Structure formats: C-alpha cells, structure tokens
C-alpha cells in the first residue's frame, strides 16, 4: 500500500463562541482535518482541535506543508517509520501536526484490518464512564441548571470550567455540592491560580469530596505541583496542554509531581505517543486521565486510547454537544447509563459528512502524487 495524495482543511463551524475562564476572551475553536488517500482506495481521516483568540488557527495546517511531501509514496502501515522521518529536527513543530498524520495512519491501519483502533491497541474494554465538561457560565444558577440537565440525561459526574477566581470558584463548588450531594464533580482552574490559592482551594474541594482538582498551575511548574500534591488527599492533575514530550512526561511520573497524569493525543503527538504516555503512567502506578475536548474526530481518537487501557477513569463529554458535531454523520453521545461506548466501525469509526463540512472551510490545500502543494478542487 502507498500514499498517493493528502488533503488538509481548516473548518470554522461556530456561530456562537465560548470561553472557559473569566480572564480569557471568547475563543475560535478550529477543526483541522486531514485526508490521506492510498492506492488501495482506503482513506485515512483525522482531526485536531485548537482554540485561539480573534480568528481561527491556520498555524497547525501551515506546518504540515513541510511534512506532507515526505509521506507521498510511503507505506501508511509503517507508522513508527513515518513518525521517525517527520520528527522535529532543527526547530520544533506543533504536536498537532504530527498527531494529524499519526491518527490518520491509524485510521488506515484499522480500516485495512477491519478493526476499531482501540482493539489494535490492546482493547481492554468497550465502554467508559463519562463526565459532562462545561464551558464557563455567567452565574451559579446557570451551572446548577446544566448539572440538573446532565443528571437527567444519565450523567453521574460533571466537570466545571470556571471563573478561575478562587473565591468565586469555591462559591460554585459549594453550591453544586449542596444542591447535588450524590454527583461526582471536578473543577478545572485553567492554570490560573498561584500556589497558596491552589493549596487552599484543593483543601476545600477535598472537604467537598470532589473527584479531582485540575490545572491549578501551569503544567510545567513541577515544584508547585509537587507541593500541592504532597499537601492534600484530593487527586491533583495537570491540564494536559503543556507537557508535550514523553521525556518530560516521564520525569513528572518518576518524581510524583501529580496524583495522576493527563494528556491529549493532539498535545502529545498522536495516538502512538498517547498510548506510550498511558503505558508510562500505568508503569508508574498512576491513572492517565485523557482529555477528549474537541470535535468528534478529535474526541474519538482519545476515546480509543482510553479503551485500550484500564488506567483512565472517565471520558470527557464536551458541552454543548452540537458545537462539536458539525460535519459528522456519526457522533459521540454518552448513553443514558452514563457511559460512552466504543465505536464499532473500523479505524476511528466515525463517518464525516464532507458535503456539510466543506461549507465552513476557512483554509485548505493538498499535496499531490508529485509532492507538490496545491489547491483542493471541489
């Protein structure tokens, strides 16, 4: 099998924009997609999500222009060999660029073998409990209304993207616990606290029996995280957005910087590295709480990682649903029993509605069989 052609699209489908913190502007959530065509008529498709201020992200797509010609003529089933050839050399590259290629190659491999990717990776289970992951709402009453809606839909856990202001966040945390004593809750501070506030809030959340406290500090502040983790019993995890190489990831595990690790296949460079991160975490006796925020092809790649191992507790169901389902014939929705179930189709297992997807193209290009970059023809 050989790669013949590759197409790249940046999709900007949002009519309404959201944020996850009081100090962050409303963001533009771009959906960057890749299609890898082979001489056996198997097409590998994948996507990465990014959030930027003021306009949609084109940087990830642009960075692919230097990588795609390397793929033409290669065997897509030799994933590790291809990843070695496109590795960063003199200058860094966005991990999302490698992730797009890697995940599309896994999609091809799954389709070639007529198996979902999670089974190719070891297939430990076929379902995982979900939590609903909110955007930031203006008032506590709005949060409580969303919790009630999610509970009625079958969710037993909700994670709050909050104001990222300690006093206001604790007011929300206490109100939620008082109103819903049996629900599981997590709080995400989006790397915005100082060390003293982080420890104080962590202690209060522990009293409220929250499941975990996420991203009080930037992920790379290993000294700060170590102090928080050693000071409290609640699970302390990073955002998963900042430690993007396996060496630093391993360092954090060895030094017990966090109570559990967290990553995302787009941030760590794809399914291949994501699986390695999960295995490293397991070897260190830690859970790896994979995030799955983003559009459907992004979320499903992370779902396959989760199902390939036993050391991830939850699937993250981003809200609102419709934002992330644009351009898809297949979608990911948590069941009434509170679980997300494995895709049954081969590869990533999600079919794209390309007719709809192409109505929201922000930017596109292709790399043809002659290794030339050109325009995508409708």
* pTM, two decimal places: 0.95
Query: Checking DSSP bridges between strand 127-133 and strand 315-318, what pairing results, if any?
Result: parallel
Q: Tokens 């995940």 — which residue?
A: 103
How deeply is 196 buried, as exposed, middle or buried, from its count of CB atoms within 10 A (0-12, 13-18, 19+)? exposed
CA nearest 86: which of 108, 59, 64? Answer: 64
Helices (H), 208-336: 222-231, 246-254, 265-268, 271-283, 296-308, 321-324
What are the pLDDT digits (tens) for 288-331? 999 998 999 999 999 999 999 999 999 999 999 988 999 999 99
**Helix or strand run (H / E) with residue 206:** helix 195-207
Amino acid 300: pLDDT: 98
What topology does CATH give the domain 3-114+351-374? Enolase-like; domain 1 (3.30.390)
Domain positions in the chain are 3-114+351-374, 118-341
What are the pLDDT digits (tens) for 230-264? 999 999 999 999 998 899 999 999 999 999 999 99
**pLDDT beneath 50: ranges in the chain:** none
CA nearest 363: which of 350, 373, 371? Answer: 373
Contact indicator for 12, 372 with CB cutoff of 8 Å? no
Contact indicator for 366, 8 with CB cutoff of 8 Å? yes
Counting other chains too, the contacts that 201-207 makes at CB distance below 8 Å and 24 or more residues apart are: 201/166, 201/169, 201/170, 202/228, 202/231, 202/232, 202/234, 202/236, 203/231, 203/232, 204/170, 204/173, 204/174, 205/173, 205/234, 206/232, 206/233, 206/234
Rounded CA separation 287/116 (Å) = 23
Amino acid 218: pLDDT: 97
Q: What torsion do the CA atoms of 298, 299, 300, 302 make, to the nearest 10 degrees?
A: 90
Amino acid 90: pLDDT: 64
Distances in whole angstroms, Cα of residue 172 to Cα of each of 50, 153, 214: 27, 21, 15
Class at the top of the CATH hierarchy for domain 118-341:
alpha beta
Tell how far CA 38 is from the center of its chain. Answer: 27
């Amino acid at each position: 099998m050989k790669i013949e052609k590759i197409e790249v699209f940046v999709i900007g489908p949002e009519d309404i924009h959201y944020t996850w913190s009081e100090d962050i502007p409303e963001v533009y959530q771009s959906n960057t997609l890749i299609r890898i065509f082979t001489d056996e008529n198997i097409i590998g498709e994948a996507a990465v999500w990014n959030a930027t201020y003021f306009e949609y992200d084109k940087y990830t797509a642009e960075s692919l222009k230097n990588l795609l010609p390397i793929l033409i003529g290669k065997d897509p089933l030799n994933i590790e060999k291809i990843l070695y050839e496109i590795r960063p050399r003199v200058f860094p590259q966005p991990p999302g660029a490698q992730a797009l290629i890697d995940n599309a190659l896994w999609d091809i491999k799954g389709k070639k073998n007529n198996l979902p990717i999670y089974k190719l990776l070891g297939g430990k289970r076929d379902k995982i409990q979900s939590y609903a992951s909110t955007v930031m709402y203006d008032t506590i009453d709005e949060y409580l209304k969303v919790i009630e809606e999610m509970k009625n839909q079958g969710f037993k856990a909700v994670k709050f993207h909050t104001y990222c202001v300690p006093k206001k966040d604790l007011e929300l945390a206490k109100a939620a616990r008082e109103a819903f004593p049996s629900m599981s809750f997590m709080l995400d501070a989006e790397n915005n606290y100082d060390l003293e506030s982080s420890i104080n809030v962590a202690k209060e959340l522990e009293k409220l029996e929250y499941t975990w406290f996420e991203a009080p500090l930037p992920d790379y502040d290993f000294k700060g995280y170590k102090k928080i983790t050693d000071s409290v019993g609640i699970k302390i995890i990073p955002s998963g957005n900042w430690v993007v190489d396996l060496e630093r990831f391993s360092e954090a595990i060895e030094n017990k910087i966090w109570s559990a690790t967290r990553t995302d296949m787009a941030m760590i460079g794809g399914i291949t590295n994501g699986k390695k991160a999960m295995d490293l975490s397991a070897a260190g006796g830690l859970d790896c709480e994979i995030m799955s925020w983003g559009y459907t092809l992004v979320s499903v790649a992370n779902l396959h990682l989760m199902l390939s191992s036993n050391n991830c507790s939850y699937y993250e169901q981003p809200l609102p649903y419709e934002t992330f389902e644009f351009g898809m014939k297949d979608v990911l929705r948590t069941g009434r029993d509170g679980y997300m179930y494995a895709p049954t189709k081969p590869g990533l297992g999600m079919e794209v509605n390309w007719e709809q997807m192409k109505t929201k193209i922000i930017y596109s290009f292709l790399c043809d069989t002659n290794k030339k970059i050109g325009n995508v023809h409708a």
